[in-house]
Chain A
Amino acid sequence: MTDILSLPPEILNRILDYLPLRELSSVCLTCKKLRDVVYVDSVWQKKCKQEYNFKSIEGWNVNYRTLYSKVLRPYGDLVGFWRRDFRCYGGLLQVKYDKGCIKGLEVLAPASSRVDRPLRKKDMFIISITSSETVQVVSVHSFPEKKEEGEEGDEEEELEEEGKEEQRPCLLRVEQDEIEGRVLEYKVTDANFILQKEGLINHPVFRRWISEELEDDPYAEMYLNCVLRKGVTYLLSRHEYRWFPLELPSKYRVNVPIQPGLFKGTYSAHGIEILSLDYNDDLTEVTVTKITGDPNVPASEISLFGDLTSPLVLTAEQQENLDSLTAIPEHHAMEQSGSTVRQPFRIPEHFSDRDNRYIPEFCTFRCRAKGRIAGHSFMTPCFSKGHFIVFDESKFGMVWLELTAFSIYFRVDENELKD
């Protein structure tokens, strides 16, 4: 009589494919032949792919079974995007598979005023496994080389691009909080060591932070305070963070003036921030939410929302100055809401904008909108009138009527966020 052990391995594998972990281990314990079949690495390769979307074992010095049991089971769920619960500043974390490790990268807005540049990424932590099957979870820090004595007064000193990189053990844990849901906790175990090396008043690190944030910003002097405050808070955080899962808006929408996604926007003194644009289900409203924030309007708050049911088509003359713009009757509307109409775009007289180089002369969609403004620490928040403008799929803008200012937003390229 044909029995189960006489089935060829490829058929036994097919049957194993249907079994959850616990049954696989039970099957292992029945006899040597079945144990060997379960231990075949291709079984585990499939599971790694199916359950954790793991593709390439290149660089990992272990087999799929070890990878699955020691690395993916505890840490595979970290892969994806997280938003940081960090004061008003928020933050974005990308965890992805890298060669031979799982890597956490802090994703930062481009340096001040260069909103068309790509996001910056900094290694934050690395999860790997040694060939003796010990899992290592380390945080990554880099310290610029200290300058030699005697060069302190030199204003022209340039900081080293590459510093010394150090790895310190850190704790990474996903907790399930009753109210907040999934939370990723990160803590460098000997933060004091780091703080000592960085120091709040440690000259090279602080200066490097400032120069990275400001780069070639023409308004650097004016906005130094904001950056200083942010830098101090960042260095003071003692390298202990919490993150919540973040779903990037990716659904393709029909009949919208611009596709949802992540954008970089200019926020004057606060530099560039990362935001998420999406729509409500009945496509009557477009909402732009902050992923990184500032002391006025923190992360997770809505920065602006546009009313798609009140689109506008304006002439260049109507946009000459604030008076002509506000003279547009409240109920001036178009035949079909939501449809895009190419029309001229002008920044009205006396409106401030950070940078002239980006302003297009035409836009494809315009509607009434409201933008969030608030005092420091989100005091007395309110909504200020404006217009939401779509230039093309890669940029949109906000004309702040009451603030007499203009902000532009550039789409974050898909490739910047790819695995």
Chain B
Amino acid sequence: MLKLSETKKRNIKSSEMPRSYACDKAVRMPMIKLQSLEGEVFEIDVEIARQSVTIKTMLEDLGVEDDDEEPVPLPNVNAAILRKVIAWCTYHKDDPPPPEDDENKEKRTDDICSWDAEFLKVDQGTLFELILAANYLDIKGLLDVTCKTVANMIKGKSPEEIRKTFNIKNDFTPAEEEQVRKENEWCEEK
């Protein structure tokens, strides 16, 4: 693990932490320090952090101990996103582990809980950053719900409406576009 210079470190004061952590130092929950791309350090309950399979593996493989002074560096995640990821994991800390992807089950998108729906009312950039962070940190529940949200943004829209929603440039020539349309005609058939 890299040792960062003292000036870069900035511990979060307990009053700035998400509510459930405004707790007395006397209650010693095992904690872990996570460090964002910019160097900001977040201290959170190990059990909450373990929702990330990436972090869980690091803890097991590298034998990081609780209350280790060295934070776990997450150079792929910026502070704003990391803060949001931690908030999601905190809310969902008592969730049962998500089931393995059942290849045979049809996938629904109408089962997003209302807290998650509110939580994900963010701009597209943030939404995609959350997806990337959930993917990097391997947090299945968050990855599923963010992907479902994007899928819901696509459902019911025509190609032009989808382009507008996501600011996609149409790079087909008219001939190419016609060909793709022909190749997909069968999707319209009952």
Per-residue interface assignment for chain A, residues 230 to 267, with 1 indicating a CB less than 8 Å from any chain B CB and 0 otherwise: 00000000000000000000000000000000000000
Q: Which of B19-27, B92-100, B124-132 contacts A (4 or more CB under 8 A)?
A: B124-132
Distance A11 CA – B104 CA, assembled complex (angstroms): 19
Contact B132 A27 (CB under 8 A): no
Query: Which A7-60 residues have a C-beta within 8 angstroms of B?
Result: 7-8, 11, 14-15, 17-32, 34-35, 46, 49-51, 53
Contact A2 B155 (CB under 8 A): no
Min distance, Cβ B48 to any Cβ of chain A, angstroms? 24
Q: List, in ascending order, chain A residues with CB within 8 A of B156's CB.
A: 23
Residue of B nearest to A16 (CB): B151
Distance A73 CA – B185 CA, assembled complex (angstroms): 13
Distance A266 CA – B106 CA, assembled complex (angstroms): 44
Contact B106 A31 (CB under 8 A): no
Contact B188 A3 (CB under 8 A): no
Q: List, in ascending order, chain A residues with CB within 8 A of B188's CB.
A: 22, 25
Q: List, in ascending order, chain B residues with CB within 8 A of A25's CB.
A: 184, 187-188
Where the two chains meet, the residues of B that have a C-beta atom closer than 8 Å to any C-beta of A are: 103-109, 124-125, 128-129, 131-132, 135, 143, 147-148, 150-151, 154-159, 162-163, 166-172, 176-177, 180-181, 183-184, 186-189
Q: List, in ascending order, chain A residues with CB within 8 A of B186's CB.
A: 69-70, 73
Distance A73 CA – B190 CA, assembled complex (angstroms): 9
Q: List, in ascending order, chain B residues with CB within 8 A of A6's CB.
A: 128
Distance A1 CA – B78 CA, assembled complex (angstroms): 13
Min distance, Cβ A1 to any Cβ of chain B, angstroms? 4
Contact B125 A18 (CB under 8 A): no
Contact A29 B181 (CB under 8 A): yes
**Interface status of A327 (Cβ within 8 A of chain B):** no
Contact B159 A29 (CB under 8 A): yes
Known: A15-B147, A15-B150, A49-B103. A30 touches B155 (CB 8 A): no
Distance A34 CA – B163 CA, assembled complex (angstroms): 11
Contact B163 A30 (CB under 8 A): yes
Contact A23 B155 (CB under 8 A): yes
Min distance, Cβ A6 to any Cβ of chain B, angstroms? 7
The 7 closest A-B pairs by CB, nearest first: A18-B151, A29-B159, A25-B184, A25-B187, A1-B125, A2-B128, A21-B187
Known: A11-B147, A18-B147. A30 touches B170 (CB 8 A): yes
Min distance, Cβ B98 to any Cβ of chain A, angstroms? 13
Contact B172 A31 (CB under 8 A): yes
**Interface status of A179 (Cβ within 8 A of chain B):** no
Distance A32 CA – B176 CA, assembled complex (angstroms): 9
19 A-B pairs with CB atoms under 8 Å apart are A1-B125, A2-B128, A3-B124, A11-B132, A15-B147, A18-B108, A19-B151, A19-B155, A23-B156, A24-B187, A25-B187, A28-B184, A29-B181, A32-B171, A49-B104, A50-B104, A70-B186, A73-B186, A73-B189
Contact A50 B155 (CB under 8 A): no
Q: List, in ascending order, chain B residues with CB within 8 A of A26's CB.
A: 154, 157-159, 162
Min distance, Cβ B167 to any Cβ of chain A, angstroms? 6
Contact B168 A4 (CB under 8 A): yes
Min distance, Cβ B134 to any Cβ of chain A, angstroms? 9
Q: List, in ascending order, chain B residues with CB within 8 A of A35's CB.
A: 180
Min distance, Cβ A75 to any Cβ of chain B, angstroms? 14
Min distance, Cβ A230 to any Cβ of chain B, angstroms? 40
**Among B105, B128, B184, which residue has the most Cβ atoms of chain A within 10 A?**
B184
Distance A5 CA – B150 CA, assembled complex (angstroms): 13
Residue of B nearest to A2 (CB): B128
Distance A26 CA – B157 CA, assembled complex (angstroms): 8
Known: A2-B129, A22-B188. A31 touches B150 (CB 8 A): no
Distance A17 CA – B105 CA, assembled complex (angstroms): 11
Residue of A nearest to B143 (CB): A14
Contact B170 A31 (CB under 8 A): yes
Q: List, in ascending order, chain B residues with CB within 8 A of A69's CB.
A: 186-187
Contact A30 B162 (CB under 8 A): yes
Q: A2-B124, A2-B125 are in contact. List 4 more A-B contacts (CB 8 A).
A: A3-B128, A19-B151, A19-B155, A30-B168
Distance A1 CA – B157 CA, assembled complex (angstroms): 23
Min distance, Cβ B154 to any Cβ of chain A, angstroms? 6
Q: List, in ascending order, chain B residues with CB within 8 A of A51's CB.
A: 106
Known: A7-B128, A7-B132. A18 touches B107 (CB 8 A): yes
Q: List, in ascending order, chain B residues with CB within 8 A of A17's CB.
A: 107, 147
Q: Which of B132, B154, B172 contacts A19 (CB 8 A)?
A: B154
Min distance, Cβ B54 to any Cβ of chain A, angstroms? 15
Contact A32 B172 (CB under 8 A): yes
Residue of A nearest to B159 (CB): A29
Distance A72 CA – B183 CA, assembled complex (angstroms): 16
Min distance, Cβ B153 to any Cβ of chain A, angstroms? 9
Q: List, in ascending order, chain B residues with CB within 8 A of A34's CB.
A: 168
Contact B166 A3 (CB under 8 A): yes
Residue of B nearest to A14 (CB): B147
Q: List, in ascending order, chain A residues with CB within 8 A of B159's CB.
A: 26-30
Q: List, in ascending order, chain B residues with CB within 8 A of A14's CB.
A: 143, 147
Q: Which of A7, A22, A50, A70 contacts B187 (CB 8 A)?
A: A22
Q: List, in ascending order, chain A residues with CB within 8 A of B181's CB.
A: 29
Q: List, in ascending order, chain B residues with CB within 8 A of A18's CB.
A: 107-109, 147-148, 151
Distance A8 CA – B163 CA, assembled complex (angstroms): 18
Known: A3-B124, A26-B159. A46 touches B154 (CB 8 A): no
